[in-house]
């Protein structure tokens, strides 16, 4: 019975590998969802964040000008995070198109090209994560997207194309 279970497990693993990058395909879908969710949450949160930052800074700054400067810095970090997420979203779409083109045989398989593109997406996601953490904004969705893209990069490095 144990040998049959091992055989079934091996067949499932072989099927997954033969399916041509299931890990990468699933990762692309999951990353797209995480990035989209983070982007939507930030869009809704920006007006609230402005008020939150105002309340946090009241009474903590020696001068009004310093408060305004700190508020502007925080909002600028949020805007940078939004921009980084938008770039990551666009790059992920291009990454997906390239991956699918390679899978369909329309483009020569080149894991190194995909790894470079995944690293670029990771750079923008990490930048967004850093900016949001700096101003105390919940970063769960962005952190999820970073972990997913790291998984995709590892799968590509492991030859799961």
Question: Does residue 47 form part of some domain?
Answer: yes
- 7 pLDDT higher than 60: no
Question: Does residue 4 form part of some domain?
Answer: no
If you count them, how many residues does the chain have?
Answer: 161
| Mean local confidence (pLDDT), 125-134 | 89
Per DSSP, the three-state class of 59 is coil
Average pLDDT, the chain: 78
Question: Does residue 15 form part of some domain?
Answer: no
Question: Does residue 37 form part of some domain?
Answer: yes
Q: What is the pLDDT of residues 65-107, one digit of tens each?
A: 888 888 888 889 988 988 998 999 898 888 888 888 888 888 8
| Of the candidates 119, 144, 127, 141, the residue with the CA atom closest to the CA atom of residue 43 | 141
Question: Does residue 73 form part of some domain?
Answer: yes
Domain that holds residue 51: 21-157
Helices (H), 104-160: 111-134, 140-157
Higher local confidence (pLDDT), 112 or 9: 112
């Amino acid at each position: 019975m144990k040998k049959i279970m091992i055989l079934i497990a091996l067949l499932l693993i072989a099927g997954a590998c033969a399916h041509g990058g299931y890990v990468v395909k699933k990762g692309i879908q999951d990353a797209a969802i995480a990035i989209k969710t983070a982007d939507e949450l930030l869009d809704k949160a920006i007006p609230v964040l402005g008020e939150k930052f105002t309340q946090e800074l009241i009474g903590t700054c020696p001068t009004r000008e310093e408060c305004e400067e700190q508020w502007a810095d925080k909002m600028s970090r949020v805007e940078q995070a939004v921009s980084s997420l938008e770039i990551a979203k666009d790059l992920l779409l291009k990454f997906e198109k390239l991956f699918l083109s390679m899978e369909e045989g329309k483009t020569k398989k080149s894991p190194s090209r995909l790894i470079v593109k995944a690293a670029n997406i990771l750079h923008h996601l990490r930048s967004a994560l850093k900016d949001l953490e700096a101003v105390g904004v919940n970063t769960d969705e962005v952190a999820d997207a970073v972990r997913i893209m790291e998984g995709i990069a590892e799968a590509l490095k492991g030859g799961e194309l």
